[in-house]
Amino acid sequence: MDTFKKLEILSEASQYDLACACGTGKNDRRQRDGAGHWLYPVPLPQGGYSILLKTLLSSACANDCKYCPLRSDANARRCTLSADETARVFMDYYRRGKVFGLFLSSGVTGNPDRTMERLNDTVRLLRLKHGFKGYVHLKIIPGASDAAVEEAVSLASAVSLNIETPGEQFFSQLSETKSFMDDIVRPVKLMSNLTASGARFSRVKCTTQFIVGAADENDSDIINYVDAVYNRLNFQRVYFSAYQPGLGDRNIPGEQRFELNPEDHLTREHRLYQCDFLFRQYGFQKNELFFDESGNLPLDCDPKKIWAERHLHLFPVDLNKADKEMLLRIPGVGPATVKKILNLRKIHSLQNLCEIGLKGRNLEKTLPYVTF
């Protein structure tokens, strides 16, 4: 199999790992290039987007993660790129201006440290042989040694390791070959220590991902872990991937629990992302979220609106007088709109929502909660 055929297979297999750019807007969705490879848009600090080439080094895997279509006993196409092949293909894309960076992961070939060695070798070739100084996101393989993790952090711009489930009791439902404490918690804590403020590698960003609905966790369980990831580990982002029934072992809870249709699985993922945004951009705390009697977020209403309905004594909010924190609590109003409100207020008193650019569904959502 030639390099580009292998890359086509491995880029396709990498789609299940979301710990880089993903979203719902037209500019932040993944896309295929003409050769069938997955390219991922990434928001840039100065504004706009650029593109990552995303691939696995190998689709062979020794692990038994029961939600994963690449697990050891699954019927998946297997192939492996060498470190040199991967580096050469990426540099070809980069020199032609097709991508600005690389997202690199792999199935576990042999053992975690052998796999990390191949991943690290690829980035070392890019840095030293090809002189590439740009963006590389490296996946940390569960169970990798401290030395392998530290080397990856020293080479990469960003690193991630998927926590997968909120705790050992749920993790054990999905894997018999991995240990939650040894293979997940230990390297995640090390990543946090290596990249902490003031540490040697503080420039490196850390992210993680939860597989939602493969085990029988509820949303409250996940949110408690998300809170710890941000406030104790100081990671930059948490991603969520709704388990897709039919991809995993038929005996795991995700194939049997909930009476959810496919759209409901994605809505559940969307509600968790909404909570994540409330934490990172709106100043919410986990105890301000509402869960139903089963510990899950309601699917029929977004968590910010639920909070507003349970705090009607604080509304309507006067857009000409409210502080930034309260403006961010208004349904339908986001950080960009709040910034616009604050800037316009310096010039004149606001008279209606059209002045701040709200229209359509957001206008309808906001109107009952504001006054002038």
Q: Pseudo-torsion of CA 347, 352, 357, 360, nearest 10°?
A: 170
Separation of alpha carbons 372 and 354, rounded Å: 13
Separation of alpha carbons 142 and 184, rounded Å: 6
Domain limits of the chain? 3-253, 311-371
SS3 state at 293:
coil
Confidence grade of residue 118 (pLDDT, cut at 50, 70, 90) = very high
pLDDT of 46 above 50? no
The pLDDT value recorded for residue 50 is 55
Range of lowest pLDDT (121-125, 167-171, 253-257): 253-257
For the chain, the helix, strand and coil percentages under 3-state DSSP, each to the nearest 5? 40, 15, 45
Cα 63 from chain centre: 22
Q: What percent of the chain has pLDDT over 70?
A: 88
| pLDDT digit string, tens, across residues 132-190 | 999 999 999 999 999 999 999 999 999 999 999 999 999 999 999 999 999 999 999 99
The pLDDT value recorded for residue 20 is 43
The pLDDT value recorded for residue 362 is 84
pLDDT of 22 above 50? no
Residues 6+ apart with CB under 8 A from 37: 7, 8, 11, 53, 55
pLDDT of 131 above 60? yes
Query: Is 3.40.50.300 the CATH classification of the domain at 3-253?
Result: no
Confidence grade of residue 61 (pLDDT, cut at 50, 70, 90) = very high
Separation of alpha carbons 21 and 137, rounded Å: 11
Beta carbons within 10 angstroms of residue 333's beta carbon? 25
Q: What is the pTM of this model?
A: 0.89
Pick 219 or 18 by higher pLDDT.
219
**Pair of tokens at residue 207:** 């992210």
Query: Is 1.10.730.10 the CATH classification of the domain at 311-371?
Result: no
Q: What percent of the chain has pLDDT over 90?
A: 67
Which long-range contacts does 77-85 make (Cβ < 8 Å, 24+ apart)?
Answer: 77/9, 77/13, 79/1, 79/6, 79/9, 79/10, 80/6, 80/109, 81/3, 81/6, 81/7, 81/10, 81/55, 81/57, 83/57, 83/118, 83/121, 83/122, 83/125, 84/125, 85/3, 85/6
CA R_g for the chain: 22
Mean pLDDT of 209-213: 93
